[in-house]
Amino acid sequence: MNRKLRDLLEYLEVSVNPEDQIAIHERYHQALCWEPVDRLPVSFTYPLPEDCPFQPYRHREVFDDPEKMLYNQLVCAFNTSIVCHRDVGDDLPYSIRADFGTCIIASLFGAKIEQVGDNPPWVIPLEEDAFQRVLDCDPLDFTQGWCPRVVKTYEYYRDILSHYPVLNQVVAITLPDLQGPFDNAELLRGSGIFLDLYDRPEIVTAVLQYLARAQVGFARRLKPLLQEKNEGFFHQHAMMMAGHILIRNDSPIMMSAQMYGELIAPHDASVLRELDGGGIHSCGNIDHLAGTYLEVPGITVLDLGQPTMNDLDALYNRARKHKIPLSRVDVPKNQLLTGEVAKRFPTGVVLRHHAASLEVAREVFKKYSVDSCSRN
């Protein structure tokens, strides 16, 4: 083990507080289950302070080194920080994952993956004939693509954390980004997938079935290596969520609700059914799709990548009728500090707030938590 990781693990082993995480999990549980809460859980994002003694490795260094990947997960994943958490005191639930970007499932099907500089990996799209040959691949052969290195990383996480019992008690080891059937198809085919929906819908349907099988199969392959702390809940995007898997649907926002419902939703539903429920995530504006998302069988949470692009109050009213919670809802600072957020969203919502610095995050959270308790 390199010295930087050893120092970090030793520091966290004596500084984390298991009781704080228990209280955070309980607050998440109440909000996600639409139960009364003393206050909505909120996690803050902020730049890692320059004077933090634990500075991350460059992104390019982590893909072939599980030690460096684990280190970065504990220091600065999703612009949050486990190592700085006690200085902020917010409702950050501790979690780590194997962070290989969006390309894991696509790598199973012969796509070329590139990673340049400190950019995330991306897929070189397949031409039309090569895309059809996806159907010649075995969707459950996890000796292919990037899957072996993902498995190796999780095995390493489990082994290392077993030597740090307090840290092992509080840190969830959760699934990597497995995307969703259509987002994986879009990665493999590029923008041509939208023409294929019209010109070759039978090929797209067959490929989506394969991709759904691969996503479910690899999630099951990884399950023995994961370490979630609460039955019926999982972690993604530095948040605790209801269910067991998060489907990414960034590409479907460019289609109508009718097209999504007819051509894509059945494959999302099959993933959720096979894995006993889970969430749907989209970046961008999903106002036109939200009603259809909320009716997908097995959905347990709706995760917002860019919540401020949506009509949050209308979305909340829709979600409340289905008792589907909303994750990563951003609100202005004044609504946190005045208590207005509790009037807008009494429960059923998990908040995220972007702060300019750790110091600002600490000040805002302290006032939010103290004032919320006094109002209750």
Total count of domains within the chain: 1
In this prediction, residue 111 carries a pLDDT of 86
> 7-11 — which CB contacts under 8 Å span 24+ positions?
7/54, 8/54, 8/71, 8/74, 8/75, 8/83, 9/74, 9/160, 9/164, 9/167, 11/54, 11/83
The C-alpha atoms of residue 299 and residue 280 are separated, in whole angstroms, by 7
Range of the domain at 304: 3-375
The C-alpha atoms of residue 95 and residue 310 are separated, in whole angstroms, by 27
In this prediction, residue 373 carries a pLDDT of 65
The C-alpha atoms of residue 292 and residue 301 are separated, in whole angstroms, by 13
Report which residue type is found at 115: Q
- Residues with Cβ within 8 Å of residue 328, at least 6 apart in sequence: 237, 239, 303, 304, 305, 307, 350, 351, 352
Per-residue pLDDT 10s for the chain (376 aa) are 899 999 999 999 999 999 999 999 999 999 999 999 999 999 999 999 999 999 999 999 999 999 999 999 999 999 999 999 999 999 999 999 999 999 999 999 988 999 899 999 999 999 888 998 999 999 999 999 999 999 999 999 999 999 999 999 999 999 999 999 999 999 999 999 999 999 999 999 999 999 999 999 999 999 999 999 899 999 999 999 999 999 999 999 999 999 999 999 999 999 999 999 999 999 999 999 999 999 999 999 999 999 999 999 999 999 999 999 999 999 999 999 999 999 999 999 999 999 999 999 999 999 999 877 666 6
- The reported pTM is 0.96
User: DSSP string spanning 316-368?
Assistant: HHHHHHHT--EEEEE--HHHHHHSHHHHH-SSSEEEEEE-SSHHHHHHHHHHH
For residue 263, give the CATH number of its domain. Answer: 3.20.20.210
Asked if residues 102 and 182 have their Cβ atoms less than 8 Å apart, the reply is no
Strand, helix or coil for residue 241: strand
User: What Rg do the C-alpha atoms of the chain give, in angstroms?
Assistant: 20
In this prediction, residue 208 carries a pLDDT of 97
The C-alpha atoms of residue 271 and residue 213 are separated, in whole angstroms, by 8
The C-alpha atoms of residue 257 and residue 286 are separated, in whole angstroms, by 10
How many CA atoms lie within 13 Å of 26's alpha carbon, on the beta-carbon side?
8
Residue 281, beta-bridge partner list: 248, 303
The C-alpha atoms of residue 200 and residue 260 are separated, in whole angstroms, by 16
Which is it for the CA torsion 352, 358, 359, 365, positive or negative? positive
CB atoms closer than 10 angstroms to residue 45: 18
